[in-house]
Amino acid sequence: IINGFKSCAVYTVVTGQDESFSSITGLNDSGKSNILDAICFVLGTQNLEDLICDCAEVVVIKASVIIVLHNWEAKESPIGFEEYATISMIRNVVLGGTSKYLINGHRAHQ
């Protein structure tokens, strides 16, 4: 889920991947690199001014990205997350302000 991030000024859900998803394809300027930038953002990229949408038609002062990972195989799960079917990572940020990170709904530090 991408909201206020680069070309996704409005709430956008990226769906349609299968278990063997390994590529992003599309026309020029369709937002392919923005999906990868969103992943970097939620994992802690620092240069926020380059990432928050600066669209002329919409004023955006905050951004959020949510990544939900399937966690079906407990033996391959991160320690402490074996019982969860999914792992969600969220980053919310206000332009010029601070970031807030959540993992499975719990506050986390970068």
CATH number at residue 41: 3.40.50.300
Quote the pLDDT of residue 105.
Answer: 92
pLDDT at 104 exceeding the cut of 90:
yes
User: How many structural domains does the chain have?
Assistant: 1
More confident residue, 82 or 42: 82
Angle at 73 (CA atoms; ends 19, 92), nearest 5 degrees:
70
> How does pLDDT run across 6-52, given as a tens digit for each residue?
766 677 787 777 777 667 778 887 777 888 888 888 887 766 666 55
State the chain's mean pLDDT as an integer: 79
Sequence length of the chain is 110
pLDDT at residue 98 greater than cutoff 90? no
Its domain, for residue 41, covers: 2-108
pLDDT of residue 85: 93
